[in-house]
């Protein structure tokens, strides 16, 4: 019988020293029952449509196992002690769908349970190149029977709805009666379970009550074992179990390969769901485990060709950034008609909702490494446009107002200062759409979605803002990115993003006149956009001239950081909004994020002054901060600090820096790891459609290599010490800039340029201080 | 048998033309089944401890009948879609206690129901001098039997816990078998009902589940009827019924007089409750109906001696202002250890919670007409001080932070911009305490409560505010009185009230050093208070210099009043907070209230300019506005407008101007009617401890007479045309001022002064405009 796993695979559990970070794999050390939930998140597999947490096949012990289908949600009533107009009355939550990963093993009648008998070896590996989760177990049952189990699972990145699991059990040193029971288990969060069985598989169907969805799973097995292997399937009330039973000779193995098709459908498409899944399953079975595994590897090879970031001099960071890239890809790979949730499909944190994270953190990376996924994310937002227009009308606004958190497009925030006032989200969406267009030149999607998104969001500012007597344009009473402020006037981030939104609308209306006409855009409207954009007010401190996060913010009372104990963080768990909002204390990059997304709106000195000012106030009670602080720290010459923030972003989940990894991974922070290295160390900017670089490595790093796709080409940037090598590895010549100097590089010849030294006054500048105890959390 | 009602009583149902407003009574016209709930509120009786809505004795038809005991509440969990630190988890709500007003009548076996048979006469009268609700019914049963029923009820204003009801049925023209069934009926909102019966009465006991209160009612009856009248009492699962049965000859009557003692007790005092109520009941029975009625009249005679406001030239307003005074007195009469809820005990609107209304609207009136009740209200707040200190600690503040809405002293607001940010409440409490002290000179209560309240609230401002580089004192991020703004910086009202709070603390600490020492007040602390008070910043519009409600508010977008349809009011039911807060639109007097409570902080011109500015923005979606607008309108010379606002305040419930009278009366607005006449037309101010007057009557009013108690004296102010007559009717001479000129009036001789004419430029000033459709609602 062929062994399931090629022995030359470097990620193979048995190989290498688990204490050393593997460049292409993440290994679990000895099984730690106290970290089950966290590891389930780290080892989650997903293609953006189907997500499976990395639980043990036998189902127990377990942390918070779960299988999720993007968009498969239930609705709950939202009630308020004091309801007010516009509050959403229904909350959407991602639900667990049937568990298809369950495989129980009985050895001479004893059930495999890692807590019983003797576990002589237990290894799990997330292989970042094969895109599989592998497990190797050597177990002696309480009665003394020894088996070796090797399992591997994958969620095909190119086939939404499929899941495959390969399970091999081997008798070690004696003949053994073994039974493998592979199950589809109904979700306790769903209802109306109907099961059916065939010879080697079956189907299970459930439904949601409130949201009216049908959820189904179809399963089929391949069984390879010695002669006499008995296979049968039994459907009970809440599960479909296929069991394979045989007496193995010493050294002999039983292999069960499970292929599953999972899906859901709304009212309209319910009837087609089973036929669709049956077809999907047939295709998957026809391909077979080995081909599915090879295809998965091929998809990832293609991904890594464009996405890989090579870090020379920090093996741990190297592993972390690849882990990060892998999970962002998993979250986004098959987004087509769903959003990318804050936790991907790795857990139910934030109820499976999608926030602005997608547009501000994830899409800017995808644009350059896997623009197809960025396009999917854009199409999803575009599909939400009718709901966003309706919400704008409901709120008495104009154009479109997108939901702060959502699964299907309706607002699911029960906190109105987020759910209605965080209007920057609209400009963020426009910004991401424009960046996508700059990065790809994809005029087809511009016509299909980008123009609509940019124009409709631009329209909101006309109603949201006001012109003062001097003609300056203000936006009052909004919530910016920093969640420790709310309902502020002239949030600099919001105003600058609104300005870009208005200007992009003008530009796109000119470039795509047919779309603009369809939207009813007039010359007068565009003239209004231009007038407002030119008049946007950006507040500053009246004394020092430093940029203010919002009007008057620099004059507020500073938070009493010295009087705040470490256990009082995150502050929102220990202090009321009332106290936080009225003080100078910043949860997450806000003005600093403005400097990242609107770099041209600030001089270098303004950036440095503002960065240093906000370092003293920023407590990073959000994971959406470290990466942006890394980028700006690098830009203003605080390279050691940039490195520390880059690490915090990259290790957020591997080192569980926020203590929340159990609920799912921080997808935006993981995308931020890429951002910290590429936009931070690499100094890459893409706001105006031309790639700009300003590479500079922090101390201790010998080299950095990354690639960026840009309008059909692919540019490689390789930094070694003080030298940068720009190469076009694919496509047409690329125009770019290096530390402010323009250059063109073609496919024939690399361009090699030197990193200019940092001026002495920059080098000698003291490292900015953070609030007491709130410096970057560098490593565990 | 003596008739129950003295026939010379002008309020007697049968007398007079019901279409004419009676000066001392409010009559219901023909019974209108669609207005039952509203009339139940208007005809509610209360002494501040026990409240009974004015329902029909027979219990059906009914609107939303109810009997309430001040403080008898249940708790409910408060859940939030997105909980945050400091949100209250428990909400208190006033509950219905057992109904003791129920009296059913059977006439030859047919139950009296006004919807059956023929109702030839039905009159109800709330008598404002006797303090009783009277009813006169002539009914022909479906079988053709005729009876006359006269009933009258009272809730003794000087005996907390008692209720008495007198019920007389008379056979008209034939012998009739009648049965009167007088019941105590268990409340459906309470649990664990236990009943017991005696010969002519019994008891009923219930409990609340969450708040752990015992609630009980004891009842006894006097029955006077022809020989053969049978009386017995039966206790069933949910009621105690005493029935009196007899065959009446034509013209004969059966009279049942019911005396009830009602009360509740917490865990600790449960065991004493029944003994206490039994004693109370015995006292009540010993007094008997006629004495109770005479005492009620005596209490009210005493009240009207000080409180009456005589309006010459507007009979409807005369009735309305007496109705208003009566209900405020009812709400406050026996406050001792409970707050005065926004609706008194006339309904369950606002869940029976007490707000700032007490201190800002009710106490300023009580101080001058019934200071004993103002003292009770102060004592109640003082009893809440430990809870307010604990809340301040919980919120990271200093001193005391009182709850926005409460029954027992804990915060019951589920909306944090009110429940934590409306800190003006603390200064409002201090202000009311200081006014009380000024008005009464009650140094005993100063030592007991006023100093504590003023100093502890003053301490909160030290933490709430900040000093800027120029030494100015600011308070950021608070919610002022106007609920269509929130989380604003430098709310002028809040800052000016904080200033007064700080200064009062300094003054009181000097006057009562022992109390100050007990509070740990130091000279340094007082010096800090003084520095901050002197530096308080009061914002203005940078262009026009007009006072701004809060920093920057005059620069916000004006609400689109023209684009707002009448049915979109109240605006909070049609627009999100997000839109309201960011616009110039004022729900209720805010800066105008500051000008009322801190008159010396503005010049007359500043008041006029600000008043006119805010008239254009104020939509009065709150009942806490018209009275204050009346006062300021009068002060700045817009007398016709003042009259219209005075009417709106006075008629709020009689004409159901807010459509909410069914839920209970608007006690603060009713107190505002007094305010509008006394502080508006009479120009009375008392902020600095000296009574100031500036009487001026609006067109159409021939005269106005009111009295004001002041430090043991009682001053009468009688305005007739352009002449004002000041008389001390009781006590020592009083120093006061008349239109800015000081004078002293003693008990020997009246002082008669002329009203100075308004200057031409004031007279010719156009009437200020209100937002479209939001002018004063003058009459129904």
Q: Which ipTM did the prediction report?
A: 0.92
Q: Do A416 and B555 touch (CB under 8 A)?
A: no
Q: What is the CATH number of the domain that holds A193?
A: 2.70.98.40
Q: Which of B666, B633, B38, B675 is nearest to B321 (CA)?
A: B675
Q: Tell me if B242 sits within 8 A of B232, measured CB to CB.
A: yes
* Structure tokens belonging to residue B21: 């407003």
Q: Do B85 and A466 touch (CB under 8 A)?
A: no
Q: Structure pTM?
A: 0.94
Does residue A380 form part of some domain? no
CA–CA min distance A264, chain B (Å): 27
B572 neighbourhood in chain A, CB within 8 Å: 84-85
List all residues 6 or more positions away from B265 whose beta carbon is below 8 Å from its beta carbon.
B213, B214, B272, B273, B276
- Residue-wise pLDDT for B282-318, tens only, equals 999 999 999 999 999 999 999 999 999 999 999 999 9
Q: Do A578 and B476 touch (CB under 8 A)?
A: no
* Structure tokens belonging to residue B514: 């022992």
Arithmetic mean of pLDDT, A630-640: 97
Range of the domain at A498: 412-619
* Structure tokens belonging to residue A771: 């609030």
B232 has pLDDT over 60: yes
User: First-to-last CA distance in chain B?
Assistant: 44
Residues A561 and A500 in one domain: yes
Kindly tell me the burial class for residue A10, based on how many C-beta atoms sit within 10 Å of its own C-beta (0-12, 13-18, 19 or more). Answer: middle
Residues A540 and A587 in one domain: yes
Quote the pLDDT of residue A18: 53
Residues A536 and A671 in one domain: no
CA–CA min distance B192, chain A (Å): 28
- Residue-wise pLDDT for A575-589, tens only, equals 999 999 999 999 999
Would the annotation count A588 as a binding residue?
yes
Residues A270 and A178 in one domain: yes
Would the annotation count B158 as a binding residue?
no
Does residue A403 form part of some domain? no
CA–CA min distance A669, chain B (Å): 23
Element (H, E) at A321: helix A315-332
Closest residue, chain A, to B80 (C-alpha): A80
Residues B521 and B626 in one domain: yes
Q: Do B578 and A551 touch (CB under 8 A)?
A: no
Does residue A577 form part of some domain? yes
Q: What is the CATH number of the domain that holds A656?
A: 2.60.420.10
Q: What is the CATH number of the domain that holds B551?
A: 1.50.10.10
Closest residue, chain A, to B571 (C-alpha): A85
List all residues 6 or more positions away from B423 whose beta carbon is below 8 Å from its beta carbon.
B401, B460, B464, B475, B478, B479, B494
A632 has pLDDT over 80: yes
Would the annotation count B587 as a binding residue?
yes
A35-49, A272-286, B10-24: segment of lowest average pLDDT = B10-24
CA–CA min distance A553, chain B (Å): 10
A478 neighbourhood in chain B, CB within 8 Å: 582
A715-729, B4-18, B283-297, B679-693: segment of lowest average pLDDT = B4-18
Nearest to B557 among A81, A415, A466 (CB): A466
Q: Do A80 and B85 touch (CB under 8 A)?
A: no
Which residues from B are below 8 Å from A when comparing CB atoms?
A: 78-82, 84-86, 91, 395-397, 413-417, 420-421, 466, 468-469, 474, 476-478, 486-487, 489, 543, 551-552, 555-557, 572-579, 581-582
Test mutation, B576, B581, B584, B587, chain A, max A CBs within 10 A: B576
Residues B73 and B215 in one domain: yes
* Omega within 30 of 0 (cis) for the link into B61: yes
Quote the pLDDT of residue A526: 98
Of the three residues B714, B730, B761, the one that is the final residue of a domain is B714
B3 has pLDDT over 80: no
Quote the pLDDT of residue A778: 67
Q: Do B576 and A552 touch (CB under 8 A)?
A: no
- Residue-wise pLDDT for A204-257, tens only, equals 999 999 999 999 999 999 999 999 999 999 999 999 999 999 999 999 999 999
Nearest to B572 among A84, A578, A579 (CB): A84
CA–CA min distance B550, chain A (Å): 13
Which residues from A are below 8 Å from B when comparing CB atoms?
A: 78-82, 84-86, 91, 395-397, 413-417, 420-421, 466, 468-469, 474, 476-478, 486-487, 489, 543, 551-552, 555-557, 572-579, 581-582
Arithmetic mean of pLDDT, B229-233: 98
Looking up tokens 């127990």 gives: A60
A417 neighbourhood in chain B, CB within 8 Å: 578
B575 neighbourhood in chain A, CB within 8 Å: 85-86, 395-396
Selecting among B483, B612, B615, B635, the annotated active-site residue is B483
Residues A264 and A333 in one domain: no
A462 neighbourhood in chain B, CB within 8 Å: none
Closest residue, chain A, to B419 (C-alpha): A578
Banded pLDDT at B338 (limits 50, 70, 90): confident
Nearest to A416 among B396, B476, B576 (CB): B576
CA–CA min distance A391, chain B (Å): 11
Arithmetic mean of pLDDT, A304-333: 97
Residues B363 and B422 in one domain: yes
Q: Do A572 and B543 touch (CB under 8 A)?
A: no
Residues B482 and B385 in one domain: yes
Element (H, E) at A436: helix A424-440
B468 neighbourhood in chain A, CB within 8 Å: 555
Residues A481 and A602 in one domain: yes
Q: Do A578 and B413 touch (CB under 8 A)?
A: no
B483: three-class secondary structure by DSSP = coil
Q: Note every long-range contact of A413-417, with CB atoms under 8 Å and residues 24 or more positions apart, other chains counting.
A: A413/A88, A413/B81, A413/B82, A414/A78, A414/A80, A414/A87, A414/A88, A414/A91, A414/B80, A414/B81, A414/B82, A415/B81, A415/B82, A415/B84, A416/A84, A416/A86, A416/A87, A416/B576, A416/B577, A416/B578, A417/A479, A417/A486, A417/A487, A417/B578
Does residue A7 form part of some domain? no
β partners of residue A256 = A167, A223
Does residue A382 form part of some domain? no
Nearest to B578 among A421, A466, A575 (CB): A421
Q: Do A579 and B84 touch (CB under 8 A)?
A: no
Give yes or no: A359 in active site.
no
List all residues 6 or more positions away from A765 whose beta carbon is below 8 Å from its beta carbon.
A608, A637, A638
B472: phi then psi, degrees, rounded to nearest 5: -75, 150
Residues A319 and A174 in one domain: no
Arithmetic mean of pLDDT, A270-298: 96
Quote the pLDDT of residue B335: 72
B78 neighbourhood in chain A, CB within 8 Å: 81
Task: State what percent of residues in chain B have pLDDT above 70.
Answer: 97
Of the three residues B260, B292, B324, the one that is the final residue of a domain is B292
Q: Do B81 and A414 touch (CB under 8 A)?
A: yes
Q: Do B469 and A543 touch (CB under 8 A)?
A: yes
Test mutation, B462, B578, B581, chain A, max A CBs within 10 A: B578
Quote the pLDDT of residue A13: 46
How large is the C-alpha radius of gyration of chain A? 27
Would the annotation count A89 as a binding residue?
no
CB atoms within 10 A of CB A700: 11
Banded pLDDT at B14 (limits 50, 70, 90): very low
* Omega within 30 of 0 (cis) for the link into A61: yes
Chains A & B: contacts with CB separation below 8 Å: 126
- Total domains in chain B come to 2
Q: Tell me if A224 sits within 8 A of A255, measured CB to CB.
A: yes
Closest residue, chain A, to B466 (C-alpha): A557
- Residue-wise pLDDT for B157-203, tens only, equals 999 899 999 999 999 999 999 999 999 999 999 999 999 999 999 99
Average pLDDT, chain A: 95
> In B464-488, which positions are buried (b, 16+ CB within 10 angstroms) versus exposed (e)?
bbbeeeeebbbbbbbbbbbbbbbbb
CA–CA min distance B484, chain A (Å): 12
Quote the pLDDT of residue A117: 97
Quote the pLDDT of residue A16: 47
Arithmetic mean of pLDDT, A261-271: 90
Does residue A345 form part of some domain? yes
Closest residue, chain A, to B91 (C-alpha): A81
Arithmetic mean of pLDDT, A524-533: 98
β partners of residue A196 = A203
B86 neighbourhood in chain A, CB within 8 Å: 575-578
> In B278-300, which positions are buried (b, 16+ CB within 10 angstroms) versus exposed (e)?
eebbeebbebebeebbebbbebb
Banded pLDDT at B270 (limits 50, 70, 90): confident
CA–CA min distance B141, chain A (Å): 47
Instruction: Return d(Cα A450, Cα A432) in angstroms, integer.
Output: 9
Residues A598 and A678 in one domain: no
- Residue-wise pLDDT for A395-423, tens only, equals 999 999 999 999 999 999 999 999 999 99
Instruction: Return d(Cα A34, Cα B627) in angstroms, integer.
Output: 65
User: First-to-last CA distance in chain A?
Assistant: 44
A393 neighbourhood in chain B, CB within 8 Å: none
CB atoms within 10 A of CB B511: 15
Q: Do A81 and B79 touch (CB under 8 A)?
A: yes
Average pLDDT, chain B: 95
Does residue B84 form part of some domain? yes
Q: Which of A404, A373, A341 is nearest to A51 (CA)?
A: A341
Of the three residues B663, B682, B714, the one that is the final residue of a domain is B714
User: CA separation (Å) from A649 to A317, A350, A595?
Assistant: 10, 19, 18
Does residue A374 form part of some domain? no
Q: Tell me if A402 sits within 8 A of A76, measured CB to CB.
A: no
A112: three-class secondary structure by DSSP = coil
Arithmetic mean of pLDDT, B382-393: 97
């Amino acid at each position: 019988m062929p062994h399931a796993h090629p022995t030359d695979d470097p990620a193979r559990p048995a190989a290498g020293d688990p204490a050393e970070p593997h460049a292409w794999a993440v290994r679990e050390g000895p099984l730690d029952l106290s970290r089950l939930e966290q590891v389930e998140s780290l080892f989650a597999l997903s293609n953006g449509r189907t997500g499976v947490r990395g639980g043990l096949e036998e189902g127990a012990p377990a942390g918070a196992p779960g299988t999720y289908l993007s968009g498969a949600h239930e609705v709950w009533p939202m009630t308020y002690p004091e309801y007010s107009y516009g509050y959403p009355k229904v909350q959407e939550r991602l639900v667990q769908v049937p568990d298809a990963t369950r495989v129980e093993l009985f050895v001479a009648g004893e059930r495999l349970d890692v807590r019983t008998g003797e576990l002589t070896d237990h290894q799990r590996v997330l292989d970042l190149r094969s895109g599989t989760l592998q497990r190797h177990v050597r177990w002696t049952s309480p009665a003394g029977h020894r088996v070796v189990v090797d399992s591997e699972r994958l969620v095909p990145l190119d086939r939404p709805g499929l899941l495959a699991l390969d399970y091999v059990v081997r008798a070690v040193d004696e003949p053994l009666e073994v039974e493998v029971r592979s199950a589809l288990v109904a979700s306790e969060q769903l209802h109306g379970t109907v099961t059916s069985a065939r010879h080697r598989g079956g189907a299970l169907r459930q439904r949601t009550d409130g949201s009216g969805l049908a959820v189904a799973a179809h399963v089929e097995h391949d069984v390879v074992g010695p002669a006499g292997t008995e296979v049968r399937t039994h459907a009970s009330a809440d599960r479909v179990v296929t069991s394979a039973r045989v007496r193995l000779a010493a050294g002999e193995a039983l292999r069960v390969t499970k292929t599953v098709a999972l899906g859901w459908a709304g009212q309209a498409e319910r009837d087609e769901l089973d036929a669709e899944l049956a077809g999907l399953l047939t295709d998957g079975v026809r391909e077979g485990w080995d081909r599915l595994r090879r295809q998965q590897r091929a998809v990832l090879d293609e991904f890594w060709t464009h996405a890989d970031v090579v870090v020379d001099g920090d093996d741990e960071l190297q592993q972390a950034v690849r882990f990060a890239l892998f999970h962002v890809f998993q979250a986004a790979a098959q987004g087509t008609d769903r959003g990318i949730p804050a936790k991907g499909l790795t857990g139910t944190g934030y109820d499976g909702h999608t926030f602005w994270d997608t547009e501000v953190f994830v899409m800017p990376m995808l644009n350059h490494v896997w623009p197809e996924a960025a396009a999917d994310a854009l199409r999803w937002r575009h599909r939400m446009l009718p709901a966003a227009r309706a919400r704008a009308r409901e709120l008495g606004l104009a154009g479109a107002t997108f939901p702060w958190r959502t699964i299907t497009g309706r607002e699911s925030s029960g906190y109105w200062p987020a759910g209605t006032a965080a209007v920057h989200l609209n400009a963020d969406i426009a910004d991401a759409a424009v960046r996508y267009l700059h990065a790809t030149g994809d005029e087809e999607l511009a016509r299909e979605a980008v123009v609509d998104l940019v124009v409709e969001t631009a329209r909101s500012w006309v109603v949201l803002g006001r012109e003062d007597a001097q003609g300056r344009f203000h936006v009052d009473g909004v919530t910016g990115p920093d969640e420790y402020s709310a309902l502020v006037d002239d949030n600099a981030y919001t105003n600058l993003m609104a300005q870009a939104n208005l200007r992009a609308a003008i530009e796109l209306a000119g470039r795509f006149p047919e779309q603009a006409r369809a939207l009813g855009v007039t010359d007068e409207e565009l003239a209004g956009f231009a007038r407002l954009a030119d008049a946007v007010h950006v507040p500053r401190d009246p004394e020092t001239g430093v940029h203010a996060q919002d009007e008057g913010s620099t004059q507020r009372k500073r938070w009493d950081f010295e009087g705040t104990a470490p256990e009082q963080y995150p502050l929102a768990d220990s202090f009321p909004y009332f106290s936080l909002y009225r003080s100078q204390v910043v949860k997450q990059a806000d003005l600093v994020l403005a400097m990242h997304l609107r770099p041209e709106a600030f001089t270098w000195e303004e950036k440095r002054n503002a960065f240093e000012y906000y370092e003293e106030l920023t407590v990073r009670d959000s994971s959406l901060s470290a990466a942006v602080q890394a980028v700006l720290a690098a830009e203003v010459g605080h390279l050691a600090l940039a490195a520390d923030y880059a690490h915090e972003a990259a290790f957020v989940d591997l080192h569980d820096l926020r203590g929340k990894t159990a609920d799912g991974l921080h997808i935006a922070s993981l995308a931020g790891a890429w951002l910290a290295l590429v936009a931070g160390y690499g100094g890459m900017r893409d706001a105006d459609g031309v790639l700009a670089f300003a590479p500079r490595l922090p101390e201790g790093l010998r080299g950095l290599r990354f690639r960026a796709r840009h309008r059909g080409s692919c540019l490689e940037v390789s930094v070694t010490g003080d030298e940068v090598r720009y190469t076009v590895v694919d496509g047409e010549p690329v125009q770019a800039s290096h530390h402010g100097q323009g250059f063109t590089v073609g496919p024939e010849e690399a361009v090699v340029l030197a990193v200019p030294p940092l001026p002495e006054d920059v080098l000698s500048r003291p490292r900015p201080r953070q609030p007491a105890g709130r410096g970057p959390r560098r490593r565990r």
